[in-house]
């Protein structure tokens, strides 16, 4: 993903390998409170709302899951966490020390445990989509076919031709059609994304973009779309996006240790600023898997979940064109045991991933530090497709 806000030159492959080999395996005697048994990934009990269980008790091969650390060593990949949920129970978690670029903190070596928050980066977009659904459920927003400009009458002076046709649906599906390019290098003056960080009025910047294609005809990945969605929630709820999220989503999920970071201009980063514990991020995946329910409580409507994870566009130009896009959620598939297994996911820059596998009643969450690497997210996909999915011994 291209939500890069503290980018430095990439470490050389040899340095990454050295850092990984020296820090991957934490010794059990030095584990801090909340850290798991690294040898077998047995979940900690930290009273965060998860019921824990052994992999064997939910139809998974524990020995296979315990090969994850060795697999990562073979690939010399800086992964910080792997969390696995099956049948609604936390069955595996493993954490690794390593290099990171955390938002607002120095780049460097960090240790990670079950109680350490991690940048979600663009996985924040998927959470913002859930918040849009909740706002619609609560009648704060009439629906996704509402015109975007209806919510921004104070920006009438910057309106460009074609914006009247853009609706919330188009923002959600990245098909709004306004000119936007964040696939360039961060320092390229033609990259639009840095303007979200540095502009005194980033909303004005987004709303003043010319329309390059009619809405619903061209898929273009754009943090600008998500920033507008976040601000629409703020304007309709009459509170900050973070406060709204805490009230309607995080508190019902039992998520208490959460941050939502601001850009340098002081504006909340709806598209990329969320920081969560990996176990809490996995709750987001479980919520989607349960069609909007958590512990029997309907937090977001089942219809919104169904609409959100319905493929709307081919994600052209991303990961070889094998992915589809819904309402700020990705859809793809893995090949395991000669069979295609479909999944839904939240993706964040650097390899942050929340995978939801409905067919197997499975959630997997990873945090990594593959920032700016050509094969970003490869480690998470490898673990999912070659270890976690194959470890399932049943299909129900």
150 and 53 belong to one structural domain: no
Contact 162, 181 (CB under 8 A): no
pLDDT digits (tens, 9 = 90+) for 331-341: 999 998 899 99
Last residue of a domain, one of 261, 283, 308: 308
Can you tell me the distance from the alpha carbon of 170 to that of 220, in angstroms, rounded to the nearest whole number? 11
177 and 226 belong to one structural domain: yes
113 and 125 belong to one structural domain: no
pLDDT of residue 318: 74
Can you tell me the distance from the alpha carbon of 275 to that of 261, in angstroms, rounded to the nearest whole number? 8
**Selection from 354, 347, 308, 302 nearest residue 327 by Cα:** 308
Kindly tell me if the per-residue pLDDT of 28 is higher than 50: no
Kindly tell me if the per-residue pLDDT of 201 is higher than 60: yes
Kindly tell me if the per-residue pLDDT of 3 is higher than 90: no
Q: Hey, CA dihedral for 358, 360, 363, 366, is it positive or negative?
A: negative
Strand-pairing partners, residue 268, are 262
243 and 197 belong to one structural domain: yes
Kindly tell me if the per-residue pLDDT of 235 is higher than 70: yes
257 and 124 belong to one structural domain: yes
User: Looking at the domain assignment, is residue 278 inside a domain?
Assistant: no
pLDDT digits (tens, 9 = 90+) for 57-78: 999 999 999 999 999 988 878 9
Kindly tell me if the per-residue pLDDT of 1 is higher than 60: no
43 and 98 belong to one structural domain: yes
pLDDT of residue 211: 98
Kindly tell me if the per-residue pLDDT of 29 is higher than 50: no
pLDDT of residue 2: 45
* Domain of 248, in residue numbers: 120-269+292-308
Last residue of a domain, one of 308, 337, 366: 308
> Quick one: pLDDT band at residue 320, thresholds 50, 70, 90?
low
User: Looking at the domain assignment, is residue 339 inside a domain?
Assistant: no
**Selection from 127, 183, 82 nearest residue 329 by Cα:** 127
**Selection from 245, 259, 276, 253 nearest residue 132 by Cα:** 245
Residue 246 belongs to a domain with what CATH number?
3.40.710.10
> How many residues belong to the chain?
396
304 and 161 belong to one structural domain: yes
SS3 300: coil
Q: What are phi and psi of 119, to 5 degrees?
A: -60, 135
27 and 141 belong to one structural domain: no
How many distinct helices (H) and strands (E) make up the chain?
12, 15
pLDDT digits (tens, 9 = 90+) for 91-100: 999 999 999 9
Kindly tell me if the per-residue pLDDT of 254 is higher than 80: yes
Domain count for the chain, please give it.
2
User: Looking at the domain assignment, is residue 83 inside a domain?
Assistant: yes
94 and 175 belong to one structural domain: no
């Amino acid at each position: 993903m291209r939500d890069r806000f503290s980018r430095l030159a990439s470490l050389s492959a040899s340095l990454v390998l050295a850092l990984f080999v020296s820090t991957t395996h934490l010794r059990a005697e030095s584990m801090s409170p909340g850290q798991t048994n690294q040898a077998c990934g047995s979940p900690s009990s930290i009273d965060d709302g998860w019921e824990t269980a052994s992999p064997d008790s939910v139809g998974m091969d524990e020995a296979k899951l315990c090969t994850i650390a060795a697999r990562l060593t073979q690939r010399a990949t800086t992964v910080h966490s792997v969390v696995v949920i099956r049948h609604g129970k936390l069955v595996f978690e493993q954490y690794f020390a390593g290099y990171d670029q955390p938002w607002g903190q120095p780049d460097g070596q960090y240790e990670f445990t079950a109680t350490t928050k991690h940048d979600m980066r663009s996985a924040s977009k998927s959470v913002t989509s859930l918040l849009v659904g909740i706002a619609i459920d609560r009648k704060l927003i009439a629906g996704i076919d509402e015109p975007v400009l209806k919510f921004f009458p104070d920006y009438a002076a910057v309106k460009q031709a074609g914006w009247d046709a853009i609706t919330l649906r188009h923002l959600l599906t990245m098909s709004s059609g306004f000119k936007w390019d964040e696939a360039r290098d961060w320092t390229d003056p033609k990259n639009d994304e840095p303007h979200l960080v540095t502009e005194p009025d980033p909303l004005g910047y987004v709303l003043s973009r010319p329309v390059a294609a009619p809405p619903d005809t061209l898929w273009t990945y754009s943090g600008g779309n998500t920033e507008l969605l976040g601000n629409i929630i703020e304007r309709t709820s009459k509170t900050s996006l973070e406060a709204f999220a805490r009230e309607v989503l995080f508190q019902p999920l039992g998520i208490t240790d959460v941050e939502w970071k601001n850009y340098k201009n002081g504006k909340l980063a709806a598209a990329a600023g969320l920081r969560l514990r990996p176990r809490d991020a996995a709750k987001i995946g479980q919520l989607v898997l349960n069609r909007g329910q958590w512990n029997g409580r309907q937090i977001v409507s089942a219809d919104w979940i169904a609409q959100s994870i319905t493929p709307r566009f081919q994600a052209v130009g991303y990961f070889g064109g094998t992915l589809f896009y819904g309402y700020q959620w990705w859809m793809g598939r893995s090949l395991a045991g000669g069979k295609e297994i479909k999944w839904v996911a939240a993706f964040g820059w650097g390899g942050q991933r929340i995978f939801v596998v409905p067919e197997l009643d499975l959630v997997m969450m990873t945090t990594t530090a593959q920032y700016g690497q050509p094969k970003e997210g490869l480690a998470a996909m490898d673990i999912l497709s070659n270890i976690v999915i194959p470890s399932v011994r049943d299909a129900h």
